[in-house]
Structure 1
Amino acid sequence: MTSILVQQTSALLWLDSLEVRALNDIRSSLRDLPGSNFLASWDFSHDPCSSFKGVVCWSIGGVNHVTMLSLGSGIAGTPGLAGTLSPSLGKLTYLRSLALVPGQVHGCIPDSIAGLKDLQFIGLANNRLSGSLPSSFSELCSVQGLDVSYNALTGSLPEGVAKLPNLNTLTLSHNSMSGALPLFSAPLIHLDLQRNGFTGPIPSLPGTLEYLSLAKNCLTGTIQGMATLQRLAFLDLSFNQFTGGIPPEIFGFRISNLLLQRNQLSGPVQVLTSPSRHATTSFTGIPAMVDLSYNCLTGQAPAGLAFAQKLFLNNNRFSGAVPQEFVDAMVFGDLQVLYLQHNYIANINLASTIPLPTTCTFCIQYNCLSPPQQSSCPFNVGRQASRPMTQCSTFH
């Protein structure tokens, strides 16, 4: 029995004693939700580095230190943990990665985490964390990824966080944060702030961005600054209060999704590049999905958007004729969704004898024309096939 105790005591000495106590505090502040047994392995009569789930250690100077901590099993469908995050997390001074799996952990994010100078990744998403994002996080100069999405955080985004020198991924979506957005100088590639309450204009953003979602906030002003973000592959500014025109440069980016719906954007839409459908080189500039619906856009629907796979231009003020490029793209099966309902369009060259592919969805109801028989609209479009001519006279 004595030799076993000696072995156990010796094993504990492999991990720095301050970190053992920190893990004990962290364990005391959390509990398994019914159906989870993650914390059952945290038996402090054994070496945490070799037996604790979610703990990874690295030997530095002959002593083990915790370098990765993943709280919760991470197995899909497991219920995760409840409780709070202990301030003793800040005592794991060699920590490089901190993750918390989805669960019901509540309370504030400890300020003490900001003392972890080697920390490169923080993932605390899908819990019930509240309070504000600590301003002390501005000191985390090594952090590359920060994800606290799907929580109940409030307050503003600290200016220092937006300037972290190594931060490339910032995900704060699905919280209740508010206030104006700070200037961003971090080398961000992925920025997701959707579903918060941020207000004011879009500030200067880094040209390194490839993914940007600011959807479902209360942002105002123009979106002209997007013209400089030439690396964008995904852009979602939907459900805000943006005004002014759409920068034509956006349509030249290699974007998979361009989502600008439900704003107050106005004026004609200019697409700089409109290649021939039969061009010998492939064209990748127009996104697979373009949604400009529910704005105040005018003029003719831009023919250059015919190369999108799904195109939503409904509920605007487009007039004139449907570009023949749209019709040809539908007939060829390239344009799979075309919504033009609730505009002021007066003409379309689509004979009733020309069938559309079964994979194509086309709606042009409630315009200044009689919809062709190929038009098949969602139920919520309404029952009126065409606009009253009195509404059309000002557009033609």
Structure 2
Amino acid sequence: MMTIDDDYVNKKHNETEQLALVDLTKLMNGLNMGTLSAFLYLIFVTHLFAINGGDAATPSQPPQQMLATGGFQSDRLQQAYKVIQAFKKKVTYDPKNITKTWVGKNICRDYKGFVCDIVPDLNKTTVAGVNFNGNRFNGPSLTLTELILGLRDLAFFHANSNNFTGTIPKNISQIRYLMELDLSNNNFSGRFPYEILHAKKLVFLDFRFNTFLGVVPPQVFLLQLDLLFINNNNFRQRISKYLGFTPALFLTLANNKFVGEIPRSIGRAANTLQEVLFLNNKLSGCMPYELGLLKKSTVLDVGFNNLTGPIPHSFQCLRKMELLNLARNRFYNEIPEAVCSLPGLTNFTASYNYFTQVGPQCRKLIKSGVLNVNRNCILGLPNQRSQADCARFFANLPTCRRAKSMHYVPCSNGNSGNQLETSDLETTPAPAPAPLGRSYGALTPH
């Protein structure tokens, strides 16, 4: 039987799912992440208003209860007041004068950056959300442990573009309703915050633009996230073979120091992954044919790496692909006509590679400006590499370990030339559980 707590979680989870699925592709087109976060926040607040009969900020309370809690609407808000006032003393730089509104006992009505709602199992008003995005708070010891652990009923905590430092609270899993955590563009450093692996209700996780380093634990790809942004840090490792276990719709690993091949398990995300950015890492080897299984993806960016080989024939199965970036790698051979014929393709960048041939359909895309093939080895086209440069490359041509898979077309109905051996199929088992928009908007810090 579903508990009242389950209702509360499901209510907010359904809201978050709606935000993630509300055609985020269109929503984030042309928006920076600060604008997006503000939009999500406004939608979230509107939802809270609806839950509480049109006024989430000032839910009514019986007079006797107000007296019993020292003039606060509930004992949860009475406790929140102490936590907020203690945090206020740590903020020594507040260019927007946000903290000046943190005065008095009516937190829900007056305090900028805090959102209230009713905790169902307690039937008490509480602080349900924090939005500090873009506030640029600073202070000599601006940590968030006391604040986030003190506000025990948080469903979301957004703090993009501030100067928080220190570490993620070890007991963050005690925040039983926490679904969204945005700590991007702050001053967090050190290893990946393993503590977050225990926050099992998260659907939105954003750590971009910090200085985390080392490795990303494979268990992060088991979290039931809709959005995972860890770009612009200093992660240096092979990408976990469990990458494809993530249910995320939007995945951004760009601007780190990931090495090695793209994991073949990426094909496991065929029914969920919509946008994935591997941009600007140190990835190598050939692209796995499993990328062609991403039938719901509209964005795939592997630009600025050391990848090589031909474009897998499976890419012709990416029927929803809109933006495909292969620029500045070491790809070669022809650009398949079937890829140039994808119905939704509006931006295809293949510049600074070693492609040698394009057919009539690809030439149409070049003429229309959809396809960029500058600095390749295609005879008869302008702005290509020198003959000597091309000759040097093909004299030591890289090869693919699984060359047969480059010809596999998983969406084909025929049986000729597209069958793989059993040894070519992905059989990675799931990792052990952890112990005890648009994605391009994530490439700007705000």
Alignment of 1:1-396 (within 5 A): 9-11=70-72, 13-33=74-94, 35-43=95-103, 45-60=104-119, 61-71=122-132, 74=134, 79-82=136-139, 83-88=141-146, 89-164=148-223, 166-182=224-240, 183-184=242-243, 185-203=245-263, 204-205=265-266, 206-207=269-270, 208-224=272-288, 225-251=290-316, 252-272=318-338, 284-285=343-344, 287-298=345-356, 300-305=357-362, 306-307=364-365, 309-319=369-379, 321=380, 340-343=382-385
Larger Rg: 1
Q: Distance in 2 between matches of 1:159 and 1:117?
A: 23
Q: Distance in 2 between matches of 1:215 and 1:24?
A: 42
**Aligned AA for 1:169?**
L
Q: Distance in 1 between matches of 2:69 and 2:125?
A: 15
Q: Distance in 1 between matches of 2:81 and 2:195?
A: 25
Q: Distance in 2 between matches of 1:131 and 1:24?
A: 29
Shift, 1:105, TM fit? 2.6
Q: Is the 8 A contact 1:194 1:215 kept in 2?
A: yes
Q: Is the 8 A contact 1:109 1:133 kept in 2?
A: no
**Aligned AA for 2:369?**
Q
Q: Is the 8 A contact 1:30 1:81 kept in 2?
A: yes
Taking a change above 3 Å as real, the CA distance of residues 189 and 255 of structure 1, as seen in their structure-2 partners, is: same
Shift, 1:317, TM fit? 2.0
Q: For each residue in 1:15-39, what CA deviation from the matched residue of structure 2 results, as whole angstroms up to 9, or x when unmatched? A: 3554444334433443334x32111
Q: For each residue in 1:95-124, what CA deviation from the matched residue of structure 2 results, as whole angstroms up to 9, or x when unmatched? A: 110001323333333333233231111112
3-state secondary structure, aligned to 2:336 = coil
RMSD over aligned Cα, in angstroms? Answer: 2.9
3-state secondary structure, aligned to 2:188 = strand
Q: Is the 8 A contact 1:25 1:86 kept in 2?
A: no
Shift, 1:79, TM fit? 4.3
Q: Segments of 4+ in structure 1 off by > 4 A?
A: 5-8, 78-83
Taking a change above 3 Å as real, the CA distance of residues 134 and 245 of structure 1, as seen in their structure-2 partners, is: same
TM-score, normalising length from structure 2? 0.63
Structure 1 unaligned residues grouped into runs of 5+: 276-282, 323-339, 344-365, 368-386
Q: Which has the higher contact order (CA 8 A, sep 6+)?
A: 2
Shift, 1:243, TM fit? 1.7
TM-score, normalising length from structure 1? 0.70
3-state secondary structure, aligned to 2:149 = helix
Q: Is the 8 A contact 1:223 1:246 kept in 2?
A: yes
Q: Distance in 1 between matches of 2:374 and 2:231?
A: 27
**Aligned AA for 1:303?**
P
Q: Distance in 1 between matches of 2:275 and 2:154?
A: 28
3-state secondary structure, aligned to 1:101 = coil
**Aligned AA for 2:325?**
L
Taking a change above 3 Å as real, the CA distance of residues 162 and 31 of structure 1, as seen in their structure-2 partners, is: farther
Structure 2 unaligned residues grouped into runs of 5+: 1-65, 396-446
Taking a change above 3 Å as real, the CA distance of residues 109 and 296 of structure 1, as seen in their structure-2 partners, is: same
Q: For each residue in 1:232-267, what CA deviation from the matched residue of structure 2 results, as whole angstroms up to 9, or x when unmatched? A: 111110111112211233244322221111112222
3-state secondary structure, aligned to 1:84 = coil
Q: Distance in 2 between matches of 1:221 and 1:67?
A: 46
3-state secondary structure, aligned to 1:98 = strand
